[in-house]
Structure 1
Amino acid sequence: MAKLTAPIKFKAKLSRPLTPKGAAWTFVVLPAAASKKLPTRSMVTVDGILEGQPFQATLEPDGQGSHWFKLEKAVREAAGVAAGDTIALEIAPVAEEPEPKVPADLKQALAANAAAKATWAEITPVARRDWIHWITSGKKAETRVKRIDVACDKLACGNRRACCFDRSGMYSKGNMGAPEAAE
């Protein structure tokens, strides 16, 4: 990973989620001032540095106009930080968004629908990530199945974006947001 260009520097608390009880992962909520320097209120992938340790993370909207992200265990351990610590970070948006991981059920549905698969192949990684997020943000299993069907139908018709999807989380009535901190 190269040196960050025009890094956004800030300090934030490293937190552990309240639920599920005993969760081992940690997360960071960006201060509003740092988040405002990003190019979008929606998901954005950044390269970062924490205590000399480079990392890459996809920041998620917190529904309040800011962002949050999970800090990978390997980075946390290499940096020698723990939940409860205030950490100094430098981040910068990546030049090109990485490809999202496609869930197996969506991958299977796309494989069975040539027209949907063709549109999927033509859209940007950000658009693919939005479709995946819309599909996986449903609370119930049947909602996910329905959304996969709808996505494949829309993609087969040439629709490139998930319609009516609030990428910032500000109007989603609780569908997006940072976890509640245990500490």
Structure 2
Amino acid sequence: MAAASDIRFKARVLRPAQPAGADWCFFVLPPAASKRLPSRSQVSVAGTLADAPFQATLEPDGAGGHWMKVAAPLLAAAGVGPGATVALQMAPLAEEPEPEVPDDLARALADHPQARATWDDITPRARRDWVQWVTSGKKAETRIKRLAVACDKLASGQRRACCFDRSGMYSKEFSAPRPAADQG
């Protein structure tokens, strides 16, 4: 029997147009499914894709919804490929997992002990927001500037990435990948 927080829907598995030859796919959640999630920004979930279990962090699509990258091993476990319509079940995780910290951010934190002290004291969700803010810059110089700003703000005790549109709805920084023209 499904838990009350289970979100069930069907979605089409799509191959991204870029990068060419990607070994991963993605799907976009139907609006009704996204609306049941606790946030318009990233949300970590656990569930099944065609009965294959997974845990993932959904990404904002910039329009109030979400999308999910599906790695090759999950595609294989589910026995699906591009163009397939699959049944999904998911629910938000009770506790946010630790984010993957990019090497440049890890080095910057190591070089700034006061920033690292605040980093170690904040929640995994707050750390994820800092990672997302730093990595969402499109240009290399923007990312370098954001690393310095993040370290300065963390060193001064700021715990959250302030004034950052986590959903992409206002900044249009986030969107689902564009699907390839030919879908399996």
Q: TM-score, normalised by structure 2?
A: 0.94
**Alpha-carbon offset, residue 22 of structure 1:** 2.2
Map 1:26-41 → 2, pairs under 5 A? 26-41=25-40
Whole-Å separation in 1 of the counterparts to 2:137 and 2:110: 22
Whole-Å separation in 2 of the counterparts to 1:23 and 1:111: 33
Partner of 1:101: 100
Whole-Å separation in 1 of the counterparts to 2:8 and 2:55: 15
Partner of 2:176: 178
Q: C-alpha root-mean-square deviation of aligned residues, in Å?
A: 1.2
2:55 alignment partner, SS class: strand
Letter in 2 for 1:130: D
* 1:22-49 deviations in Å (ceiling 9; x for gaps): 2221001000000000111110000011
Partner of 2:44: 45
Map 1:1-183 → 2, pairs under 5 A? 6-173=5-172, 175-182=173-180, 183=183
**Alpha-carbon offset, residue 4 of structure 1:** 5.9
Whole-Å separation in 2 of the counterparts to 1:6 and 1:101: 26
Whole-Å separation in 1 of the counterparts to 2:135 and 2:27: 22
Whole-Å separation in 2 of the counterparts to 1:112 and 1:72: 33
Whole-Å separation in 2 of the counterparts to 1:167 and 1:60: 10
Whole-Å separation in 2 of the counterparts to 1:98 and 1:24: 25
Whole-Å separation in 2 of the counterparts to 1:95 and 1:124: 13
Whole-Å separation in 1 of the counterparts to 2:132 and 2:95: 19
Kept after mapping to 2: 8 A contact 1:5/1:92: no
Kept after mapping to 1: 8 A contact 2:23/2:71: no
1:15 alignment partner, SS class: coil
Kept after mapping to 2: 8 A contact 1:10/1:89: yes
Q: TM-score, normalised by structure 1?
A: 0.95
In the alignment, structure 1 segments of 5+ residues that lack a partner are: none
Kept after mapping to 1: 8 A contact 2:13/2:26: yes
**Alpha-carbon offset, residue 119 of structure 1:** 0.4
Whole-Å separation in 2 of the counterparts to 1:75 and 1:22: 17
Kept after mapping to 2: 8 A contact 1:30/1:66: yes
Q: Percent identity?
A: 62
